Amino acid sequence: MPAQTKTKRKTRNASRQPTRVGKHLVVDPRVCHGQLIFRGTRVPVDTILYCLAKGRSLDYMRTSWPEVSPEAIEEAVRLAMEHLIDFYGATKS
């Protein structure tokens, strides 16, 4: 029986590149299954937004995830707000 050789994995470099979303957020297919995360961490943005929606404080966020800066959290909230306003066509009063 002939020896089996391992096949090389096909790589698609273009599709596996990180996509920056703002200054502090990134989507990287190689990290956390391509979820939106805070750049340089493995912390999903939706986790932080969910905690904020449940009334958790910024101090709680800093204690729980010290690698996520307050500026990064602020950017996530701002981008989420802008997306909702753009998506639903709300106007500023």
pLDDT in tens, the chain (93 residues): 556 656 555 555 456 888 888 899 999 888 888 889 999 999 999 999 999 999 999 899 989 999 999 999 999 999 999 988 888 876 655
What domains, with CATH codes, occur in the chain?
19-88 (1.10.10.10)
Q: Which single residue is written with the structure tokens 């990134």?
A: 26
pTM (predicted TM-score): 0.72
The predicted pLDDT at position 17 comes to 87
Q: Which single residue is written with the structure tokens 């200054």?
A: 23
